[in-house]
Amino acid sequence: MNTLIDYDWTVMAPELTIVVMAAFLSVIDLFLHPNKDRRLFMWPTLIGIVGAMCFVGMSWGKPAYQILADTYRVDDFALAFKMIMLIGTAFITVMSYGAFRKEKGFAEGEYYYLLLTALLGGMVMASSGDLITLFVGLELLSISTYILVGIRKRSVMTNEAAWKNVVLGGVASGFILYGMSFLYGLTGSTNLFTVRDRLGEALTSGYDLYAWLALFLIVFGFGFKVAAAPFHMWVPDVYQGAPTPITAFLAAISKTAAIALILRMFLIGFIPLFQGGRGTVLDEKTGGRVLLILAGLSMIVGTVIALRQQDAKRLLSYSSIAQAGVILVPLASWGPFLFPSTLYYLTGYLFSTVGAFSVLMLIERESRDSHLSSFAGLSRRSPFTALAMTLFLLSLAGIPVTAGFFGKFYILANAVVTGSPEHWAMYLIAGIMLVTTVASYFYYFAIIRMMYFRASQVEEKLRIPVGAMIVISVAAVATLGLGLMPQLVVDILGNVDWGASLAPVK
Amino acid sequence: MALSLSGESIAFFVLSMMAIGGGIMMINSTRVVHMVLALAFSLLSIAGIYVLLHAEFLAVVQVLIYTGAISILMLFGIMLTKHKVDEEDGWSGRLGHSLLSFLGVGALFAIVMGVIYRTPFAGKVAATKSFTVEALGKSVFKQYVIPFELTSILLLVALVGAVILAKKEADS
């Protein structure tokens, strides 16, 4: 066995940068006078994230590398997910600049370094081939977000959100851990590749139900984490009660990390269950069907309930449940473009979601609530913001020349051309996706109608802080750019050898 | 599976009943102190089960950390905070809710037990002699050093969170 010094630890540079910056900020926070303004913490946070981005970009395209029996592995799959999470957190850092200025007793120093540790958890989840590291990463992300959700501790709604998040998030982690313990008990290893090999043997010797139990328990917990129906009950309350930048973090980055976790676990560890075909109680199609049900149900439930929402934040929460369903379609349908279509959609979804939530944050601060009517007359109060918001909503709805349109198209194409024997299921899920997309136009257009065709009670201009302005502009440009020139990203994603991410490092 | 009535199986039976009983007592009691004591009782019984499984180190750690440190910490927590004991009838949920939760938990229990009973476990006993503290230390500090270090960050985050959520503002 190699000793610690034999490994090339520089591959961990992105994570180490984030850790160092978080530690640095916590020490500075300790020595800074309590009454000092901690808004400027945004800069070190941003520098750390940008530094990590550079390291991620530098290792892109290199052969996969692993440290200490896959407890940490870096491959293009991990790097792509890390890049999405880093971009998302950078946006959230910038939009938080000055967002909490008026709040007394707000732990702004802690806010920034907890964002970094949450990001660290997500990055670890993306780049590990070992159950223990995956779980520790998941918990690091979860616990940091539990605190961030409840950080505005004087608001009753925030307290309710934090409480629900802790309890249900804890239950979900418990289910995932319980499933992992079955997997470990069956295979005697936490390494996903060893698990894969031994699970293949175990299936033929009568332990198949045991393995399925592990899979179902993990899907259960994962459903909570990714906010998919029927495990979505906590989502609207938590998203509504959390500070809006954190809501955006939950909707974009936590979801991305959970998808990374489940892709790794299903496509490496659980793969024998999807190949199967040995006449056991549950056949090899079951896993795919479970995911299809999860995806279909999320799209239907999210869309139907969103239609009746009068509160913009709740509306966007339900829409994020529906989006979770869409993101799950490639994994459920497999197909040739599983990785590129998932990653492309996540990228587009990131820009539109973060953009939409930052506009919502401005509206919320101005009118003290997030009711739909607060958007009335936004086109006159701030034409630029209204235009950007329209773009984000069109992208979330999947209307042409936005990132969301091409993302949905890519996923749809992937589902329809898949070589799965169950063509009817693929057409069914494609049908559900189309119908819910069309239905979603109603609620997305409700906001657009408010912005353009309703007169506002206040006529004064909307004040836009610099940070939010930058986030909204960059996100709008990216949403439009990805829609107009999708080949830019698709080419990068298409040239990657995704199979190498699912194989042990030689 | 014939249940041989050896001393070991009797001990296992008694200890598991104590562990489960402690859990039930914890859920049902209304006073926080009783809850902590029931929890400590349950955790101590689990330490006994570890001894039966020849995991002596784990058993000692269980007693030291869970039964000892965590229970004491909770008692201190109770002592140092205002704890108005709710003497009111704790059962205020709707009947439908408890019925639904009972059904859900019952279904989960039935499925897990069904799966366990249908699985043909090989009768081989693992060689527990090789699972020494030395081997444990080696795997924690060598192979699993990355998750180990991450755990320390995790604990730090939890500590920071506890402080900022619980502290009273000194502002004026």
* CATH code assigned at B71: 1.20.120.1200
Number of Cβ within a 10 Å radius of residue B56: 13
Please tell me the distance in Å from B129's CA to the nearest CA on chain A. Answer: 17
C-alpha span between A253 and A82 (Å, rounded): 10
Of the residues A144, A154, A175, A220, the best mutation for testing chain B's interface (the one with the most B CB atoms within 10 Å of its CB) is A144
Q: What string of pLDDT tens digits covers the 506 residues of chain A?
A: 567 778 888 889 999 999 999 999 999 988 988 777 788 889 999 999 999 999 999 988 888 888 888 889 998 999 999 999 999 999 999 999 878 877 777 888 889 999 999 999 999 999 998 999 999 999 999 999 999 999 888 888 898 999 999 999 999 999 999 999 999 988 888 999 999 999 888 888 778 888 889 999 999 999 999 999 889 889 999 999 999 999 999 999 999 999 999 999 999 988 888 876 555 667 777 888 888 899 999 999 999 999 999 999 999 999 999 999 999 999 888 878 889 999 999 999 999 999 999 999 999 888 888 888 888 888 888 899 999 999 999 999 998 889 999 999 999 988 888 766 677 888 888 899 999 999 999 999 999 998 998 887 777 888 888 889 999 999 999 999 999 998 888 888 888 888 888 888 87
Chain B residues 74-133 with a CB less than 8 Å from chain A: 111-112, 115-116, 118-120
DSSP characters for A220-251?
HHHHHHHT-TTS-TTHHHHHHHS-HHHHHHII
Is B125 part of any domain? no
Residue of chain A whose Cα is closest to the Cα of B154: A140
Question: What residues have CB less than 8 Å from B138, skipping those under 6 apart?
Answer: none
Q: Would you say the ipTM is above 0.85?
A: yes
| Same-domain status, B73 and B137 | no
Burial class (CB in 10 A: 0-12, 13-18, 19+), B117: exposed
List chain A domain ranges. 311-506
Is B23 part of any domain? yes
Nearest to B157 among A114, A151, A206 (CB): A114
B-chain CB neighbours of A133 within 8 Å are: 144, 146-147, 150
Is B145 part of any domain? yes
Q: Look at chain B and report how many structural domains it folds into.
A: 2
| Same-domain status, B76 and B140 | no
| Same-domain status, B75 and B137 | no
Is B61 part of any domain? yes
B140 inside 8 A of chain A by CB: no
Question: What residues have CB less than 8 Å from B39, skipping those under 6 apart?
Answer: B22, B26, B71, B74
- Domain extent, residue B69, equals 8-82
Is B108 part of any domain? no
